[in-house]
Structure 1
């Protein structure tokens, strides 16, 4: 990707830096960051976990004195996805829930209170990948707390961290990099040595497959939407792939920029 995607004179907020590592080496990288910059200047970022339909039903049921087996039976009838209004919609649409005496106590209070807390903050969790690196002790900048696992995390979530002007980095574990590493190791066991740095970036067979949308298992290119875009874009060099990754984003797709680019490319 072009560096200007992340930092350019027109950008008003801090860059969002994502770095991918193999899943097996990610913990080593995180340990290095703490050692390099100091435990008092590096921390994980928290994320606010909110009440989904099932968790709202379970916590409300416990507070009202329902038996665990009763509350689990009702909670499992709710959809697993999280969005305010799911409980209300489910009570109206799902036949299994419509059979329950919703207008009678104690279910009336259960569903009423559960809807009140649905979507509200439940607890702080540790963000899967985000970390803060500061030029001074973080205790002087953000409130910190210790998790149940003994990790120190910021009490502010990632958007508030950005507002403070702190550098946030996402240390991601990539399954694709792990697959590549293990594949190379298996090949070496059979005395087949491949140097990734010597693989040409203009390999015709590779681009022929991409033009046909054959991207299953290819990092960032395997979704059906991206596969469709590549068939229309017909990439022939690395620059086309850079453009495709930049175009397959909500902004360009919603604004019509992607379609405009495809038309210009075809002349």
Structure 2
């Protein structure tokens, strides 16, 4: 909002200065009263400055519409239920919100409506726009996988905050540790949170056991479509992570992707859990 006000003021001042000069020229070289022209040009000042100030949010809305369209194509099963995400010290996210990646270093608070105390849930956090280092290959990066999430029934609803259960991280339900977003400088990445209902007899698919190390090679190429066959989607949310380089930070122009890559995994067919 502050940026829009600054843009409006600058545009207004430039337009006003031009029109004042125009009015003075009329007074000095012509005998026509400049009052009518002054009123006309003042209106033009407001219209011109307002139009200029609207360009920035308009562009953002166009970009956001494109992002939403792509995400719906990737996740055609998206639920109407919104997943609430809030990083420490921040506000609850709205879908498509822009966040500085420096604000996402710690695990966020997770919440959603109509969750049940006797149910377990799984959270996935992925980056859709990662470029593998030294290549032009775009790949999905898994940033976090946490099973055995349960609603914190000690707090009054709504909303319902979910936290790891006592058995989180055991041999049958191992967790993939959280890695904060690492978008390169001067880039914007789409980061998506997905919440699943965890079936009672659920076990982590062994075909995805390669994702546990905190390395790019282990987390890259995560095939979300293959993983979705094991659980029922409850809710989702996403944000645009931007990396504005700090003062003195070395930056290079990121390479654009020319192809997309997923890791090939051989998983048995699973039946998706139903959400009641």
TM range (shorter): under 0.3
- Relative contact order: is structure 1 or structure 2 higher (C-alpha 8 Å, sep ≥ 6)? 1
TM-score, L = length of structure 2: 0.23
* Greater per-residue helix proportion: 1
TM-score, L = length of structure 1: 0.24
